[in-house]
Structure 1
Amino acid sequence: MKSRYKVLQCSAILALILVLGNMALAAFPASQGFVNDFANVLDQTSRTEIQAIADRLQAEQGIELAVITISTTSPMDPKEYTTGVFNEWGVGGPEDSGLLMLLAVSEGAIEVEPGYGLEGVLPDGLIGAVIDQEGLPHFKNRAYGAGLLAMARAYAQILAGEKFEIAEESNDPNWLVSFIIFLIIVLFMRRGRRFPPSGSGGFGGGGGRSGRTVFVPRMPRGGGFGGSRPGGGFGGGRSGGGGAGRRF
C-alpha cells in the first residue's frame, strides 16, 4: 500500500512539474522581430531607429539584437524572465551572437543579456556601464524609448569596434574585475594584431565624456544568419544568463 502511495505521489509531483514548465513556456510571448513593444511604451521615432540599428547589426555582423518592453515579468523575476525568453526565442543564431535588452515597466527593471558568442566582447561590467550612463537617466524620467535607443547605439558602437568611455562614477561596483578580465580576453583574441581604429562614426552618439576608454575587437561580418527577420523568428542562439540589470 505504501509503495502504491509513493508511486502516486511521485506521479503527481511529476505532473505538477510538467504543468509548471508548460506554464513558464506559455508565459513568453511570440517574437515580433527585433523590436517587441509589448508594453506599448515606445515612441515611433525610437522604435524606427532601434529597428534600423538591429537591421544593420544583423546584415553587417550577423549579430541579432532583440529589444523587449513588457508590462510585467510576474511571476518570474526580470533576470529569470530575460534568460528564459532569450533561450526560448533563440536570439543570436548558431554562433550565439545575440543581445537581448528587456525593460519591465511594473518592476522598473532593465536587463541586458548577451549570447555565449558575445560574452567576450560585452563583459558584464561594460554592459552595466552602458545601462548606467545611457539608459537610467532616461528611464528615471519614463522616457523608455529614448533610453533603449541610447543603449542600442552604445552597444552597436562597441560591437563595431568603436570606443566607449566609462564614466568614473559608474554604479557597477565590479567594473574593475570585469574590465581586467575583458582586457585579458581582448589581448588573447588580438595577440599579434593591432586594435581597430577608434574613430567615431557608424552608429552615432556617445561622445563628450571623460573617464576610462574601452576598446573592443571588431566582430566579424557576415555571420551566416541569412537576411533580416522583420516578422520574428530568430536563429537558435543561447545565453548562459550573463549580462547586467538595474532598477529605476
Structure 2
Amino acid sequence: MKFPTVRHCWTAFLLLLASGLSAKEVPPPPDPPRLVNDFVGLLSRTESQALENKLVAYDDSTSTQIAIVIERSLEGDDIFDYSFRLAEAWGIGRKGKDNGILIYIAFEDRQIWIQTGSGAEGFLPDVMAKRIIDNIIVPAFRQQAYFQGLDRATDAIMQLGSGEFEPEGLGKKKISAARVIFFIVLLIVLFILLSRMGGGGGGGYYRGGRYDRGGGWIWWG
C-alpha cells in the first residue's frame, strides 16, 4: 500500500532529518492482524471488540480498511511522520488500492492524526479528516467518552465513503449565486486597492501552522 503523494514523501523526509534521525521505532504489525490496537487500555475489551467487528465488516463490504492505533506517547517524534511510517509498515489498506485510513492517537501527548491513503483521499480529504477530529473525537475525549468518540468518527468516515455524511459543521453549505457574485466582486475590488497601495516590496506569504496540508493534529483536555 502506498500512502504517499510526492508532497507527503518530501515532507516526511524533511521531518525525519529535522528530528536528527531519532525517530520512534514502529512496533511490528499485530499477529494475528487487528484493525483496533489499543496499547494504552483506553477502551474496554468489549468496546475494542465492538469497534473491531465494525471495521472488519466495513473492510469486507467495501475493501476500505480503517485502523485505530492508540499509543501512550510519540517519544518526541512527529505525529505525521510516525503515523505515516506506521501505516506503511503495517500495510493498512488493500494492496494496489492504497485505500487505508489510520486514526492514530498518542494519548499522553494529547495528539491525534488521521492518516489517509491516496485511494481514500477522494472522499476523506485532509480538511474533512481535521474536522472529524475537531468536531467529533476531541469533544468526546474531553468527556472521557473514548469509545463514543471513535465510534462516531468511524461512522462519519464510512458515511463520507458512501456520500451520506452531511452533519452540521461538516457538510457542504449551499451558497446562493448572488452571494457568490458579491464575493467575487469584493475580491476584485480588494485586489485593485491592494495593488495600488502595495507598490514594490514583494515577499512571500507564510501561513502559520505545521500541518497546513493537514489531516489535523490537536490537543485536548
Q: What is the aligned partner in structure 2 of residue 127 from structure 1?
A: 129
Q: Match of 2:29?
A: 31
Q: Indicate the SS of the match to 1:145.
A: helix
Separation in 1, partners of 2:214, 2:135: 19
Provide the C-alpha distance between the structure 1 equivalents of 2:125 and 2:76, rounded to a whole number of angstroms: 28
Aligned to 1:63: 64
Q: Deviations over 1:162-194 (max 9, x none)?
A: 122241xx7xxxxxxxxxxxxxxxxxxxxxxxx
Q: Contact conserved, 2:130 with 2:214, CA < 8 A, in 1?
A: no
How much does 1:49 deviate?
2.5
Aligned-pair identity in percent equals 26
1:163–1:213 Cα contact (<8 Å) kept: no
Contact 2:47 2:147 in 1 (8 A): yes
Query: Amino acid of the residue matched to residue 150 of structure 2?
Result: L
2:10 maps to none
CA contact 1:72–1:107 (8 Å) conserved in 2: yes
Structure 2: give runs of 5+ residues left out of the alignment.
Answer: 1-16, 175-212
Gapped runs of 5+ residues in structure 1? 1-16, 171-210, 215-240
Q: Which residue of 1 aligns with 2:120?
A: 118
Say whether 1:246 aligns with 2:221. Answer: no
Q: Which structure carries more relative contact order (alpha carbon 8 Å, separation 6+)? A: 1
Q: CA separation in 2, counterparts of 1:107 and 1:24?
A: 16
Q: State the SS of the aligned residue for 2:217.
A: strand
The one-letter amino acid of 1:31's match is P
Residue 197 of structure 2: aligned partner: none
The CA deviation at 1:24 is: 4.3
| Deviation string, structure 1 residues 121-180 (Cα, Å, up to 9, x no partner) | 11111111111221111111233222112111111121123122241xx7xxxxxxxxxx
CA contact (8 A) 1:37 1:69 kept: yes
Q: Which TM-score applies when normalising by structure 2?
A: 0.65
In structure 1, what residue type is equivalent to 2:90? W
Q: Bigger shift: 81-90 or 135-144?
A: 135-144
Separation (CA, whole Å) in 2 of partners of 1:119 and 1:109: 21
Cα root mean square deviation, aligned: 2.4
